[in-house]
């Protein structure tokens, strides 16, 4: 019988290898195209000016920085004269901007490129740590410095630069290209992107594709990749804050009952933390399937054979808070209160638990599970309405528009693998998910782990090289999605929709 064991092992290895080779196809070699000429000087100066506009979103309910937003609008007009002469520019809800670059074929659905004008505040206690003042927009050491350099005035300026240079080169899109720049993304986007999306909806405009911020070309961030990986966000997590209220026997602390409100609340919270939502490896497997042929071979074997290695992968991911969050709905105990005096048992204790919903997990499903996990009628809970929304749909990657986006990225970043991924935070893109089935979240710049810490942190800056690549990449995506004039007049992008 023992001779069967080596035979079985041999079969298993062969099976794993076959699955691995079928798993991820090597990417096509990047097309050797001549990249469009963009004006790096204009990019650097334009971004510096934009950073000097202190368009800070301070907090929900706080008024927008009106003067600084208007100043930014004026500077954009001066810096990008062709774009402002040829595109229709509208303000939405006073401060958000919507540009329309009319395509030759009005009956085609448009494509939408978005960014946001606002930035997060600078922590005053960290001011000394900035090598250049955070709103200086200084050009130093081959980079433009300041709040918004990465998140995300760079994408706003690079989008306009792409338009400006395409116009200068005589390009005219077949389908309409829209640019939308909200003004309150950092505090939820309810007055900016949400209003723009409503405006588009009222006009019956349903973009064939949307490109917002989110992913980037990352280096040294994704395990198993020696080279850069362009992570295109194809979905983003939802959000749910539950307010828990535990009722208990009130009274004097000299004769406590076993059913105190605080004790019941504490038990409920402990149960929730000890029972995280289940992990879903499918999204991560899609990332490795898309980008995988440029990954280390071991990683390819693992992700091609999650039926065998799934448990191992789950354990490895759970060892780190970041990676654990990438594959599940997270459970975070964020607020707790109860009691007013050291010798009084309160009748109520309250807490807030914040969940970030993995696509596919729903608010109703999480609530049902919370009920089961707590298992105590005396602990009631309800969703905080303004802090609850479902996870976005997942945009398909087997489409021409996704392929065109990936090709444009590889023209500018030829070494990069390209794969879909799940955006952990919330972006303006979620407001456009109701209008378009193809919503992608990707900023075309190359960043490593150190750069990522600058986002909302100190010494935020972007290199001129990155700025140039961003504008070139946007221009290539605009050309691919916008369509080139053809003999029969139909843009290339239309063949995909016809076949759907
Ligand atoms: Zn942002």
Supply 182's token pair: 């909200």
3-state class of 98 per DSSP?
strand
- pLDDT of residue 292 exceeding 60, the answer is yes
The count of residues in the chain is 500
Are residue 55 and residue 148 in the same domain, yes or no? Answer: yes
Single residue among 341, 364, 389 that ends a domain in this structure: 389
3-state class of 125 per DSSP?
helix
pLDDT value for 496: 44
Are residue 492 and residue 443 in the same domain, yes or no? Answer: yes
Distance 183 CA to ligand 1 centre (A): 10
Phi, psi for 406 (deg, rounded to 5):
-60, -40
- Exposed / middle / buried, residue 322 (Cβ in 10 Å: 0-12, 13-18, 19+): exposed
**Angle CA(492)–CA(495)–CA(500) in degrees, nearest 5?**
145
pLDDT value for 500: 37
pLDDT digits (tens, 9 = 90+) for 435-462: 999 999 999 999 998 999 999 999 999 9
Are residue 406 and residue 442 in the same domain, yes or no? Answer: yes
Q: Are 358 and 277 in contact, with CB atoms under 8 Å apart?
A: yes
Q: Are 432 and 111 in contact, with CB atoms under 8 Å apart?
A: no
Rounded Cα gap, residues 308 and 251, in angstroms:
56
- pLDDT of residue 132 exceeding 90, the answer is yes
pLDDT digits (tens, 9 = 90+) for 347-382: 999 999 999 999 999 999 999 999 999 999 999 999
Distance 117 CA to ligand 1 centre (A): 9
Residue 27 lies inside a defined structural domain of this protein: no
Are residue 130 and residue 243 in the same domain, yes or no? Answer: no
pTM, to two decimals: 0.90
Active-site hit among 49, 54, 118, 151: 118
Supply 41's token pair: 């000087």
Greater pLDDT, 495 or 30: 30
What is the enclosing helix (H) or strand (E) of 141? Answer: none
Are residue 107 and residue 220 in the same domain, yes or no? Answer: yes
Distance 449 CA to ligand 1 centre (A): 17
Whichever domain contains 325, its CATH number is 3.30.70.360
Residue 245 sits in which domain range?
A: 238-389
Distance 6 CA to ligand 1 centre (A): 55
Nearest to 481 by CA among 445, 432, 447, 436: 436
Distance 96 CA to ligand 1 centre (A): 14
Are residue 67 and residue 200 in the same domain, yes or no? Answer: yes
Active-site hit among 54, 185, 186, 361: 185
Distance 190 CA to ligand 1 centre (A): 14
Distance 246 CA to ligand 1 centre (A): 37
Are residue 168 and residue 45 in the same domain, yes or no? Answer: yes
**Angle CA(307)–CA(310)–CA(311) in degrees, nearest 5?**
125
Q: What is the overall mean pLDDT for the chain?
A: 92
Q: Are 73 and 82 in contact, with CB atoms under 8 Å apart?
A: no
Task: Report the percent of the chain where pLDDT is more than 90.
Answer: 76
pLDDT digits (tens, 9 = 90+) for 165-177: 999 999 999 999 9
Residue 8 lies inside a defined structural domain of this protein: no
Single residue among 355, 389, 423 that ends a domain in this structure: 389
Are residue 305 and residue 201 in the same domain, yes or no? Answer: no
185 has catalytic annotation: yes
Give the count of domains, the chain: 2
């Amino acid at each position: 019988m023992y001779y069967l064991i080596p035979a079985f092992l041999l079969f298993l290895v062969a099976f794993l290898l076959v699955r691995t080779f079928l798993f991820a196809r090597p990417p096509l070699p990047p097309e050797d195209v001549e990249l469009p000429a963009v004006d790096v000087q204009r990019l650097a100066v334009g971004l510096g000016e934009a950073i000097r506009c202190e368009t800070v979103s301070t907090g929900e309910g706080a008024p927008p920085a009106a003067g600084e937003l208007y100043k930014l609008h004026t500077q954009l007009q001066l810096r990008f004269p062709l774009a402002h002469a040829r595109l229709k520019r509208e303000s939405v809800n006073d401060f958000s901007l919507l540009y329309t670059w009319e395509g030759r074929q009005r009956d085609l659905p448009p494509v939408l490129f978005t960014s946001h004008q606002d930035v997060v505040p600078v922590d005053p206690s960290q001011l000394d740590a900035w090598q250049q003042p955070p709103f200086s927009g200084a050009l130093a050491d081959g980079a433009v410095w300041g709040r918004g350099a990465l998140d995300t005035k760079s994408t706003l300026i690079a989008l306009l630069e792409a338009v400006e240079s395409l116009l200068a080169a005589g390009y005219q899109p077949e389908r309409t290209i829209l640019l939308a720049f909200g003004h309150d993304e950092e505090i939820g986007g309810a007055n900016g992107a949400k209003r723009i999306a409503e405006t588009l909806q009222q006009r019956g405009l349903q973009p064939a594709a949307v490109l917002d911020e989110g992913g980037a070309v990352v280096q040294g961030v994704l395990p198993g990749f020696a080279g850069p990986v362009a992570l295109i966000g194809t979905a983003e997590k939802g959000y749910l804050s539950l307010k828990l209220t535990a009722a208990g026997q009130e009274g004097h602390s000299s004769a406590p009952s076993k059913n105190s409100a605080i004790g019941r609340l504490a038990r409920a919270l402990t149960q929730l933390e000890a029972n995280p939502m289940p992990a879903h490896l499918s999204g991560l497997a899609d990332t490795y399937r898309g980008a995988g042929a440029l990954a280390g071979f071991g990683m390819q074997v693992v992700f091609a054979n999650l039926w065998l290695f799934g448990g191992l992968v789950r354990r490895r991911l759970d060892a780190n808070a970041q990676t654990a969050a990438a594959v599940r709905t997270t459970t975070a105990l964020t607020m707790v209160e109860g009691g007013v005096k050291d010798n009084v048992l309160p009748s109520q204790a309250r807490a807030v638990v914040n969940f970030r919903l993995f696509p596919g997990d729903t608010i109703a499903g999480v609530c049902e599970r919370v009920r089961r996990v707590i298992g105590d009628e005396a602990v009631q809970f309800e969703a905080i309405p303004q802090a609850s929304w479902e996870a976005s749909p997942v945009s398909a990657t087997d489409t021409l528009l996704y392929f065109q986006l990936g090709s444009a990225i590889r023209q500018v970043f030829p070494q990069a693998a390209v794969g879909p991924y799940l955006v952990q935070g919330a972006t303006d893109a979620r407001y456009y998910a109701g209008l378009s089935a193809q919503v992608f979240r990707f900023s075309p710049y190359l960043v490593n782990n150190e750069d990522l810490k600058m986002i909302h942190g100190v010494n935020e800056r972007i290199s001129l090289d990155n700025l140039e690549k961003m504008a070139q990449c946007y221009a290539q995506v605009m050309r691919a999605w916008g369509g080139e004039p053809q003999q029969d007049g139909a843009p290339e992008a239309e063949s995909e929709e016809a076949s759907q």
